[in-house]
Structures are given as C-alpha cells and as structure tokens.
Amino acid sequence: MTFSRPLPSPNALTAPYWQAAHQRELKLPRCEACAKFHFYPRSACPHCGSTQLGWHTASGKGEVYSFTVVHRAPSKGFEELVPYVVAVVALAEGPHLMTRLTQVQPDTVRIGMPVQVDFEKQDEETTLPVFCPVEK
C-alpha cells in the first residue's frame, strides 16, 4: 500500500506557477511598475502596492538561506524519503522559496550553498520545483 502526500490545489492566483512548474519552468510574480519580484503570489506588489503584476521566468538559481533535515516524517507518505532536506532558498531574483533539496547528502548541506531548480513530477497534473546543488 502506498500513502499519498499533500499536493497543491492551484487556484486562479497560483495556477500560472503550477502550470509552469508542470512544464519544468520556474515562474515568479513580478511587479510591472517597480520591476521587483515577490513570492508568494499576491493581489498587489508588497514593495510598491501596484496591482500591475505579471509572471516571469526565473533563473532557477539561488542559495540555501536555511535548511532542516527531517528525520521524522509528518505523515506516512513522506516516510520513504527520510531523512530528507527541507530548505528555504534565497532566489537570485530576491524572494525566498520553500523547497526540498535533492541529489545531495543531507550532512553536506550548508547555509549559503549555491543551488539550482530541478523538477519532480508527482502525478499527471502536478510537478514540484525542488532544488539541487549547482554542479561545479
């Protein structure tokens, strides 16, 4: 028996993000007035208040802002992954983003480590952006 994991339920505000992710692309909301990126998606720019917002492809690059190695899964669906690394990544575009690090030994993860986006297909409709160390 396999156990499911919680998956995102996109809505009108967030659908562009999840549609892009399913195409293996990281898109972020950006303000057309002040040109700054933000995340999570909002109705107005948190920097200048403008409601002229668009979606732009991000570089997919960033560095580890903080991380935790999860040894005790929150539910059965995650048990096969233990121990796994949940991280906040500071994206090159400015905003932070919660993710999981892949292709990495948990005990080698450090704050400041350069990482880049990768994609993990969950089912026929959903793909999660994950991050992995930048290859040297």
Bond from prior residue into 40 cis (ω within 30 degrees of 0): yes
**Which amino acid is it at 16?**
P
- Count of residues in contact with another protein, rule CB under 8 A: 37
Whose Cβ is closer to another protein: residue 94's or residue 133's?
Answer: 94
Among 2, 6, 12, 43, binds another protein (CB under 8 A): 6
- Window 38-97: residues binding another protein (CB under 8 A): 39-40, 65-75, 77-78, 81, 84, 86-88, 95-97
Bridge partner residues of 115 (DSSP): 62, 133
Q: What's the angle, vertex CA 57, arms to CA 23 and CA 123, rounded to 5?
A: 25
Closest CA to 60 of 12, 33, 5, 97: 97
Instruction: Using the minimum distance from each CB to another protein, give the nearer residue, 66 or 103.
Output: 66
By CB under 8 A, name the binding residues for another protein. Answer: 5-10, 14, 18, 39-40, 65-75, 77-78, 81, 84, 86-88, 95-100, 111, 122, 128
